[in-house]
Amino acid sequence: MNINWINLLWSASLFVIYIITSCFGLYLIKAAEGWKTPTFAIGFVLYGIGAVLWMVILRLMPLSFAFPIAAGSLVIGTMLTGMFFLSETITAWHIAGAFMIITGIVLIAINR
């Protein structure tokens, strides 16, 4: 099996940047005191950057590959963002669900 490491790193980097900008943007929007605050504006811009990155990802990868990975990663990313930045409680059910999502992402990625 011949692995193109440059394409793999490029794809992984796009997904990581997409997840970070989207999740942190959502966090800042939620944490903002109001609509007209710098926190909200920065969150909105970061979330917008995430949306643009998503469009780039869709242009470069098949939808059947990109969507499950992005959706699963966003679920896990928002769960971790809530836990670390918003003091939300993560239960054993959350962890079990995250494990199933990660397993699904791995299965999809392996078959690409």
**Predicted confidence (pLDDT) per residue in 34-45, tens digit:** 999 999 999 999
Q: What is the total count of domains within the chain?
A: 1
Structure tokens at 98: 């995250």
Nearest 5°: CA angle at 78, between 75 and 81?
A: 150
Strand segments (E) across the chain: none
Domain that holds residue 50: 5-110
Structure tokens at 37: 């605050």
At 110 the pLDDT is 78
At 64 the pLDDT is 85
At 1 the pLDDT is 55
Structure tokens at 63: 């939808």
Among 18-32, 61-75, 85-99, whose mean pLDDT is lowest?
Answer: 61-75
Question: Could you tell me the pTM of the whole model?
Answer: 0.83
Residue 65, pLDDT above cutoff 90? no
> End-to-end distance of the chain based on CA atoms, in angstroms?
12
